[in-house]
Amino acid sequence: MTTRTTTQAVATVSDVSMRFRGHTALDRVSTSIAEQAITGLLGRNGAGKTTLMQLLTGHRVPTSGRIEVFGARPYENDDVLRRICSIKEGQRYPDHFRVRDALGYASTVFPEWDAELADSLLRDFDLPDKRPVKKLSRGMTSAVGIIIGLASRAPLTLFDEPYLGLDAVARQLFYDRLLADYAEHPRAIVLSTHLIEEIAPLLERVLLIDRGRVLLDADAESLRGTALTVTGPTAKVSAFAGGHDLLHTETLGGHSRAVVRLRNGAAGDDAAAAGLSWESTNLQQLVVAMSLHTSAAGTAAPTHLEEVSR
């Protein structure tokens, strides 16, 4: 994925907290959603991802802090909300809606709706447009949401686990069509999913949340090469990791395998010079390691981890 240089944001989140009956879903979160970028919103179940998306789409008001979308607060703001399309897991439709009804209604809601794209996607996913949505399979229902999300051409489009039930071929079709349309009509797209390895090539930004706090907020390109998985004698692994940020380690019989975030421009050659085997840590491995690191520490990752990724 080619990274665009984007300085503007369609949404800003400033020191936002969200609490539900004593549970803190978001804890002083500050971030922004770039105007023309595909952002991966990542994290474990219960991390706060869905809550953040609900705040961005005006479904909730934060307990504290400020959220602005297109320069205004989204809650009960029709001027803002008509520029947002949010497709979520288990998207619901009126019981009497057929597929064509769902698409027809969406065409009246979204000013930038592209009927030609919707028809093309309908054929791509082989959806029966006269069938009631409630009688579709789970995968077909997900495909209806994907069509609406893409054809809406909304300036801010959010997909929250949009393709449950889709097989690998259908998911790849979604990725291909998303990239093709995004290249022609760039906009802010947020993907929240657990299929990190699959979507990694699409992403231009990465926002990782754990326990309601931001662990990582970074340009995807800048993350490449910033983490290594090193393997070797435990003493050598420990010595190498001591000069970097150790995120996760496993030890067996005097040998260790560790995931480290590199400091001071270090690279794989430095690990090799230390007598260690190494391989680049992909995005999914990095997300898992940082989340495990947070769990082990019982709190959010150290501040410097966030700073070096910005």
- CA distances to 109, 111, 152, 284, 307 from 304, rounded to whole Å, are 43, 43, 39, 21, 5
- The pLDDT assigned to 5 comes to 45
- The pLDDT assigned to 3 comes to 44
**Residue with structure tokens 């340009």?**
219
pLDDT tens track for 146-190 = 999 999 999 999 999 888 889 999 999 999 999 999 999 999 999
| Mean pLDDT value of segment 110-125 | 97
CATH T-level topology, domain 9-221? Rossmann fold (3.40.50)
- The pLDDT assigned to 307 comes to 32
| Mean pLDDT value of segment 51-74 | 96
pLDDT tens track for 200-228 = 999 999 999 999 999 999 998 888 778 99
Which one is predicted more confidently, 304 or 240? 240
- The pLDDT assigned to 301 comes to 42
Percent residues over pLDDT 90 in the chain: 74
Which one is predicted more confidently, 10 or 3? 10
- The pLDDT assigned to 292 comes to 83
CA-to-CA distance for 126 and 209, rounded, in angstroms? 36
pLDDT tens track for 281-290 = 999 989 988 8
- The pLDDT assigned to 89 comes to 82
**The 3-state secondary structure of the chain, one letter per residue:** CCCCCCCCEEEEEEEEEEEECCEEEEEEEEEEEECCEEEEEECCCCCCHHHHHHHHCCCCCCCEEEEEECCECCCCCHHHHCCEEEEECCCCCCCCCEHHHHHHHHHHHCCCCCHHHHHHHHHHCCCCCCCEHHHCCHHHHHHHHHHHHHHCCCCEEEEECCCCCCCHHHHHHHHHHHHHHHHHCCCEEEEECCCHHHHHHHCCEEEEEECCEEEEEEEHHHHCCCEEEEEEEHHHHHHHHCCCEEEEEEEECCEEEEEEECCCCCCHHHHHHCCCEEEECCHHHHHHHHHHHHHHHCCCCCHHHHHHHC
- The pLDDT assigned to 9 comes to 94
- The pLDDT assigned to 105 comes to 96
* Cα 240–Cα 244–Cα 245 angle in degrees, nearest 5: 120
Residues 6+ apart with CB under 8 A from 135: none
Confidence of residue 298 (pLDDT cuts 50, 70, 90): low
Closest CA to 191 of 211, 220, 169: 220
What does the domain layout of the chain look like in residue ranges?
A: 9-221, 226-302
- The pLDDT assigned to 165 comes to 87
Closest CA to 194 of 221, 222, 220, 171: 171
Two tokens, residue 100: 């064509």
pTM for the model: 0.87
Residue 250 predicted with pLDDT over 60:
yes
